[in-house]
Amino acid sequence: MRTETLIGRDAHGVAHIRAGHRIDAFWAQGYVHGRDRGLQLLLMRILGKGRSCELLEDSDALFALDRFFRRMNWRGHTDAQLKLLTAEERLILEAYCDGINAALKKSPWELKLLGYSPEPWHPEDSLMMTRMVGYLTLAQSQGEIERLLIEMVQAGVPQTHLEALFPGLLGGLDRDLLQRVRLQERIVPPELLWQLPAPRMMASNNWVVAGTKTVSGKPILANDPHLEVNRLPNVWYEVVMEMGGRFAVGGSMPGFPGVLIGRNSDLAWGATYAFVDALDSWVEKCREGRFYREGEGWKPFRQRKEVIGRKKRGTEEIIFYENDHGVLEGDPHQEGYYVSSRWAPGDGGAHTISSVLSLLEASTVEMGMELVRKIETAWSFVFADTRGNIGFQMSGRVPRRREGVSGLVPLPGWIPDNDWQGYQPPEDLPHAFNPREGYLVTANHDLNAYGNIHPINMAMGSYRADRIAFLLQQSDQWTVNDMFRVQYDVYSLQAERFMKHLRPLLPDTPNGRLLKTWDFHYDADSRGAFLFEQFYKELFRQVFGRGGMGESVVDHLARETGVFVDFFANFDRILLSEQSVWFAGESRRSIYRRAWEAIATLTPRRWGEVQSFTLSHMLFGGKLPRCLGFDRGPLQGIGNRATIHQGQLYRSAGRVTTFMPSYRFVTDLEDTCLYSNLAGGPSDRRFSRWYCSELELWKNGIYKKLQPRPEDQLKPFP
């Protein structure tokens, strides 16, 4: 440990760091990340480098995962990015890595059992982490909906139906060409016609209220990122850092220096994912290992050889074929049409590191907005400062496409006009400063109206954002405690809008009366929530199953993927319409009645019973006896896809996936503290008292208080 640097824990086990110099503070942050989350750090790096079969378990499933990460190649092209950092930023990053390595001299015992002795952590590893976090659970969903479009075309879904589902987004669609594409991976398994690799998606809420609407007279900011919570440890790691007379407190992510969401002495910030389409696909005409370009003829692909080690089977060599459109999916030596894909931020990361480190020193909303708009990956930030200002700024590297195309449709790769024409200016991204309403809300919905460009082509529904805005309009006397209640709100505007059409059709039966009097809340004891969800699922089968996709396909998409979860706004628009080509000439009234009759005799269950889940250890989950305490639960989830307290459960790749508020915080700029709870605890060490120490607080809506503390209020670390 460096001299004159204090590392301790508060009563909740949260790490506190006090250092006279920034570099020492970041060394200490690396150290606490390595001590408390060493297993998480190393497993993420093993995954990111595509070494799971070599170091963890040699299975076909992990080989497919390794192949995916090798294909994405996030560990590549790092030297040029690291050279973009300033000398101080490079020193900070190196100090952070030194701190991790000091902690990892004591390697996690779980990895020793596997015979793995970790290599040192390097700056390149942290850069790789920024790319992984920006894509997995986020941009990946954009690629999946583009793939789904190809499969719908190949399955014969009529053009009129596609236009109703994706209005204004099908510019450049060539159905004949897409019919000829050879897909290597599909959204739905072959026996259902389609297939898909496991989706990992997310959603979040953040909002900020001006001092004109608070009791304190200063802004209040709230944030609750929705990530997969049925895993231990939690993705987030809380930290309190003091350096040079300033402090920062909030959620960090092991492997990456700084505070990603939280506050400092003068400025608070929160982030949600912005559904910016920065991932595009092109159709390549291939033969003899080459691709065709108009005016240039047949050109060779760049070849990247990857060697994947396997514990039981030696090594396997894979060749990836690349051009300026990204990585090809398929073998170009077999003549045909294949898809290549490129993610705009995939070779970046330096600006993300610079911006996050600089946020700790920023003192105004304007400074924060200027910093984050340079971040390569797509986020919606809200800000508040002690001067009373509030703001919103979207980040993300957005491709500049030719006129008339949205980015959803794969275009012919041989036509030069279909190439990206550089990137959009960051200053044109959606943003706002001190709006007259006195508040700003982002919840993964369409925020294009705030920008000079429209980077979002498909967003999540606005139900959560609309509900938050409605509540914020009800008072000008907001407090931190009020914001706690908003974060746990489970009222569904989605259900309210559907029930407007269903309620008149409900019969005078026990189930009919139960649903007719339901209050649209998805709390644990609600049986009306269960009945409505069964009706909603059946409505999908009646409309999209009978209307063109097939009921087995709809069942699979609902049961095993997140397609209906992330992009339900597109499907809801049709389901709520009075008429649609998807209705096949029927009225909405008759379809709703038939959907109700299909589920009318079901025995209502408690929503919490339906939403039961277990928190599983990231390495040993489900593999060891429950009595050993690696897994925790079962818990009962509340909320659904459209409530502020989001509660999504679905299966993905054969296992249950949950997306709920993984971390919640609220801060009033009148004070220096931040109130939070976390689904888990500070440590990934099963036998640490901090392994799952906050789960009861998180479950019961109790918040702890985080702020810089005197040394005599801290415990030794660890």
Same domain, 479 and 516: no
- Looking at the structure, do residues 234 and 361 belong to the same domain, yes or no? yes
Q: How buried is 147 (Cβ within 10 angstroms: 0-12 exposed, 13-18 middle, 19+ buried)?
A: buried
Average pLDDT, whole number, for the chain? Answer: 91
Q: d(Cα 427, Cα 415) in Å, to the nearest integer?
A: 30
- Taking a C-beta distance cutoff of 8 angstroms, is the pair 385, 364 a contact? yes
User: Long-range contacts of range 174-181, CB-CB < 8 Å, 24 or more positions apart?
Assistant: 174/412, 177/283, 177/337, 177/412, 178/150, 178/153, 178/154, 178/283, 178/410, 179/153, 179/154, 180/336, 180/337, 181/150, 181/154, 181/283, 181/337, 181/338, 181/339, 181/410
| pLDDT score recorded for residue 202 | 60
What pLDDT shows up at residue 459? Answer: 86
Between CA 267 and CA 639 the distance in angstroms is 31
Tell whether 452 and 361 lie within a shared domain: yes
Cα 30 to Cα 711: distance, rounded to the nearest angstrom = 20
Q: What is the pLDDT of residues 156-184, one digit of tens each?
A: 888 999 999 899 999 999 999 999 999 87
* Contact status, residue 150 vs residue 338, Cβ threshold 8 Å: no
Q: How many CB atoms lie within 10 A of CB 519?
A: 12
Domain boundary among 458, 487, 516: 487
Q: Whose CA is closest to 274, among 447, 441, 487, 451?
A: 447
Distance CA 477, CA 301 (A): 62
Is residue 127 within 8 A of residue 97, CB to CB? The reply is: no
Inside any domain, residue 375: yes
Q: Please check whether residues 372 and 455 belong to one and the same domain.
A: yes
Residues 483 and 506 in one domain: no
409-437 mean pLDDT? 97
Q: What is the pLDDT confidence band of residue 185, given thresholds at 50, 70 and 90?
A: low
**Interval 624-640: pLDDT, tens:** 888 899 999 899 999 99
- Specify whether the CB–CB gap between 324 and 419 falls below 8 A: yes
- Percentage of the chain exceeding pLDDT 70: 95
pLDDT in the model for residue 200: 45
Pairwise CA distance, residues 709 & 625, whole Å: 40
Shared-domain flag, residues 364 and 431: yes
Q: What is the pLDDT of residue 219?
A: 98
Structure tokens at 247: 């402090």
CA 206, CA 225: separation in Å to the nearest integer? Answer: 8
Using one digit for the tens of pLDDT, what is the confidence trace for 491-547? 999 999 999 999 999 999 999 999 999 999 999 999 999 999 999 999 999 998 886
Mean pLDDT across the stretch 81-97?
97
CA distances from 340 to 174, 344, 655 (A): 16, 13, 29
Give the per-residue pLDDT at 32. 98
If DSSP states are collapsed to H, E and C, what string results for 336-404?
A: EEEEEEEEHHHHCCHHHHHHHHHHCCCCCHHHHHHHHCCCCCCEEEEEEECCCCEEEEECCCCECCCCC
The structure tokens listed for 590 are 């008759």
One-character DSSP codes across 483-538: HHHHHT--B-HHHHHHHHHHGGG--SSHHHHHHHT--SB--TT-SHHHHHHHHHHH
Within a 10 A sphere around the Cβ of 35, how many other Cβ atoms?
23
Distance CA 580, CA 160 (A): 10
**CATH no. for residue 532?**
1.10.1400.10
Looking at the predicted structure, is the pLDDT value of residue 194 above 80? no
502 shares a domain with 476: no
The whole-number pLDDT of residue 190 equals: 34
Instruction: Convert the pLDDT of each residue in 20-38 to its tens digit.
Output: 999 999 999 999 999 999 9
Strand 411-412 versus strand 279-287 pairing type: parallel
pLDDT, tens digit, for every residue of 100-118? 999 999 999 998 888 889 9
Domain boundary at 462, 487, 512, which?
A: 487
Rg (CA), the chain: 25
| Cα–Cα distance list, 605 to 372, 439, 507, 527, 610 (Å) | 45, 38, 19, 5, 7
Identify the pLDDT of residue 655. Answer: 59
Half-sphere exposure of 613 (CA within 13 A, CB side): 25
Beta bridge partners of 321: 303
pLDDT exceeds cutoff 60 at 321: yes
User: How many whole angstroms separate alpha carbon 394 and alpha carbon 449?
Assistant: 12
Q: What is the DSSP letter of 426?
A: G
Query: Could you tell me the residue range of the domain that residue 517 belongs to?
Result: 493-609
When pLDDT is cut at 50, 70 and 90, the band that residue 199 belongs to is very low
Residue 243, domain CATH: 3.60.20.10
Q: What are phi and psi of 603, to 5 degrees?
A: -80, 120
Mark which of 576, 609, 642 sits at the end of a domain.
609
Highest mean pLDDT among 37-41, 555-559, 622-626 belongs to: 37-41
Q: Which residues face 459 on adjacent strands?
A: none
Domain membership of residue 651 (yes or no) is no
Half-sphere exposure of residue 347: CA atoms within 13 angstroms, side-chain side: 8
Pair of tokens at residue 656: 């249950």
> What is the C-alpha to C-alpha distance for residues 439 and 462, in angstroms, rounded to an integer?
16
Length in residues, the chain: 718
362 & 501 share domain = no
**Which one, of 517, 144, 123, 148, lies nearest residue 343 by Cα?**
144
| Domain-embedded: residue 35 | no
Least confidently predicted of 134-143, 307-316, 477-486: 134-143
Does the pLDDT at position 573 exceed 90?
yes
Strand (E) or helix (H) holding 699: helix 695-700
pLDDT of residue 197 exceeding 60: no
Q: How many domains does the chain have?
A: 2
Question: What tokens does 138 get?
Answer: 């986020």
386 plus 528 within the same structural domain: no
| Residue among 538, 589, 478, 401 at smallest CA distance from 212 | 478
Residues 241 and 368 in one domain: yes
pTM of structure: 0.94
710 lies in a domain? no
Q: Would you say residue 432 lies in a domain? A: yes
Q: Let me know if residue 241 belongs to a domain.
A: yes
Same domain, 433 and 531: no
More reliable by pLDDT, 236 or 564 = 236
681 located within any domain: no
pLDDT on residue 619: 87
Tokens at residue 555, please? 């069942």
Report the C-alpha gap between 621 and 630 in whole angstroms: 7
What distance in Å separates the CA atoms of residue 593 and residue 655, rounded to the nearest whole number?
33
Tell me how crowded residue 626 is: count the other CB atoms within 10 A of its CB: 11
Are 266 and 386 spatial neighbours (Cβ–Cβ below 8 Å)?
yes
> Cα–Cα distance between 334 and 352 in angstroms, integer?
40
419 and 271 in a common domain: yes
Residue 61: predicted pLDDT: 81
Instruction: Lay out the sheet containing 632-636: strands in order across.
Output: 231-232, 612-617, 632-636
The pLDDT of residue 651 is 58
The pLDDT of residue 413: 97
pLDDT for residue 696 = 95
Residue 51 forms part of a structural domain: no
Average pLDDT over residues 609-638: 90
In this predicted structure, the answer to whether residue 39 has a pLDDT above a threshold of 90 is yes
